[in-house]
Amino acid sequence: MSKKYFGTDGIRGRVGTYPITPDFMLKLGWAAGMAFRKMGACKVLVGKDTRISGYMFESALEAGLTSAGADVMLLGPMPTPAIAYLTRTFHAEAGIVISASHNPHDDNGIKFFSGQGTKLPDDIELMIEELLDTPMTVVESNKIGKVSRINDASGRYIEFCKSSVPTGTSFSGLKIVIDCAHGAVYKVAPSVFRELGAEVVLLSAQPNGLNINDNCGSTHMGQLQAAVLAEHADLGIAFDGDGDRVLMVDHTGAIVDGDELLYIIARDLHERGTLQGGVVGTLMSNLGLELALEELKIPFVRANVGDRYVIADLLERGWKVGGENSGHIVCFNHTTTGDAIIAALQVLMALKDRDEGLAQARQALRKCPQVLINVRFAGGVNPVEHAAVKEASARVTKAMAGRGRVLLRKSGTEPLVRVMVEGEDESLVRGYAEELAKLVAEVSA
């Protein structure tokens, strides 16, 4: 069955536009509470990022959940991966995050975690959607859920993050600039790195409900690059608004993306004999990552774009490490979902183990030039399925002889075909991309 509300990462949209409205959130809380109660006694954790609409939706969800008989534990502003962790440790039936991740303040959304701290199974999401189409009821007065607040949530999560590195680890002597995106990590991230001995220079850690992800964080790296150079720091770390993405900046001011961070982590685990299998990337992972891992004899596979698909592939294979070039990095040897703080700590440990800087560590991965062209079409037949396009794509792939690749995919939200070609020769790659884009446009006319 197709889903009406749930996308690949919960429910998301513009605040005030259905379904991101208070009345829908009330009904969603009730439907979720009814679904979770089918498992028995029901306890649900609710956390949020720092955007202003989070308070409104928190109240609506709380009313809906309690009307269904679910007990609610409020966490306040906390990173998304913290809710996954705390849902497990409090033995709750589910965790709910009110967040639109890296989007601006006028967007918001809802993410769910299961009692195991993983993405909610499809059958539960479908059950919630079915309940949304039924009349809302209220349990008997003596069965209405209770609400409490967890006051030590931040402290618990800080200790959890620190436990992902060996006891006694110290980053003393390391100067780090941290950009918190005015988001959910603004309290916990500085504490984690300071308590582990690093000197921390803080950026974008004064949330006012409207400035989350506003020209800061992992989607706008300029401020961090400038600060790393001005402070003569060893490196910079940029988080997104809800703390599940991380990118870095080396001491020269160069951006280090998710592919490079994933490589640094995987290489370190491989050298210590604890990698357990291979690495899962996505269709958008740079070919350079695949080639660099191949040199180390580390298996690499590509999942569809989206951390849900990376996680599903890791679980199916029993592997431990995967991620996206956007900075979603999953370390299953420490947690159950993408966690930006934990991923950053694993990178710092890898640098410490090899006694090298971030600029040096990334050199072993030579990123291949990648050209992406968006081609608009009128709708209807998918140009990617056209025989001439398939033939041309196969011809270009063969011509690159394993040292390049072609990816043609139709956008899920717009009438666009994304034509991506990457390889070792930039001029050749651009020529191939323009040739394929022209053909897609011709068959779409």
Residue 28 CB: number of other CB atoms within 10 A?
Answer: 25
DSSP-derived pairing of the beta strands 71-77 and 43-48:
parallel
Closest CA to 393 of 384, 401, 402: 384
The helix-helix angle for 22-37 and 122-132 (nearest 10°) equals 120
Catalytic residue, chosen from 53, 99, 101, 164, is 101
Of 150, 128, 144, 31, nearest to 83 by C-alpha is: 150
CA angle in degrees (0–180, nearest 5) for 370-374-379: 145
Q: Where are the alpha helices (DSSP H) in 90-221?
A: 122-132, 153-162, 188-195
Query: What is residue 412's predicted lDDT score, i.e. its pLDDT?
Result: 67
CB 246 within 8 A of CB 264: no
Tell me which CATH code domain 11-151 carries: 3.40.120.10
- Report which residue type is found at 388: A
122 among annotated binding-site residues: no
Retrieve residue 125's tokens: 């999401």
Q: What is the pLDDT of residue 382?
A: 84
108: β partners: 13
Query: What is the pLDDT tens value at each position of the chain, 445 positions in all?
Result: 678 999 878 999 999 999 999 999 999 999 999 999 987 779 999 999 999 999 999 999 999 999 999 999 999 999 999 999 999 999 999 999 999 999 999 999 999 999 999 989 889 999 999 999 999 999 999 999 999 999 999 999 999 999 999 999 999 999 999 999 999 999 999 999 999 999 999 999 999 999 999 999 999 999 999 999 999 999 999 999 999 999 999 999 999 999 999 999 999 999 999 999 999 999 999 999 999 999 999 999 999 988 889 999 999 999 999 999 999 999 999 999 999 999 999 999 999 999 999 999 999 999 999 999 999 987 667 899 999 999 999 999 999 988 899 999 887 667 889 999 999 899 999 999 999 999 999 998 7
What is the spatial distance between Cα 132 and Cα 189, in angstroms, rounded to a whole number?
37
- CA neighbor of 355 nearest in space, from 90, 153, 95, 173: 173
The CATH classification of domain 370-444, taken from the options 3.30.300.130, 3.30.310.50, 3.30.1360.120, 1.20.1260.10: 3.30.310.50
At residue 89's C-alpha, the angle toward residues 47 and 311, to 5°, is 75
For residue 157, what pLDDT is reported? 98
Task: Report the run of H or E that residue 247 belongs to, with start and end.
Answer: strand 246-250
pLDDT given at position 415? 81
Tell me: is residue 268 an annotated ligand-binding position.
Answer: no
Q: What pLDDT sits at residue 369?
A: 94
Catalogue the E-assigned strands of 8-164: 11-14, 43-48, 71-77, 94-98, 107-114, 147-149
The answer to whether 240 is a known ligand-binding residue is yes
Number of H helices, E strands in the chain: 14, 18
User: Which amino acid belongs to residue 6?
Assistant: F
Q: Is 214 annotated as a binding residue?
A: no
Asked whether the CA dihedral 354, 355, 359, 360 is positive or negative, the reply is negative
CATH code 3.90.330.10 for 257-367: no
CATH code of the domain occupying 172-253: 3.40.120.10
Which pLDDT score is estimated for 413?
64
Coil, strand or helix: which one is 143?
helix
Is residue 440 within a helix (H) or strand (E), and if so which, with residue range? helix 426-444
Q: Collapsing DSSP states into helix, strand and coil, what is residue 127?
A: helix
Return the domain boundaries, the chain: 11-151, 172-253, 257-367, 370-444
Q: What's residue 39's pLDDT?
A: 76
Tokens 């900046």 correspond to 249
Tokens, residue 341: 């703080």
Our CA angle for 29, 30, 34, nearest 5°, is 115
Q: Same topology for domains 11-151 and 370-444, yes or no?
A: no
In DSSP notation, 276-328 reads: -S-EEEETTS-HHHHHHHHHTT--EEEEPSSHHHHHHHHHHHT--EEE-TTS-
Assess whether 163 carries a catalytic annotation. no
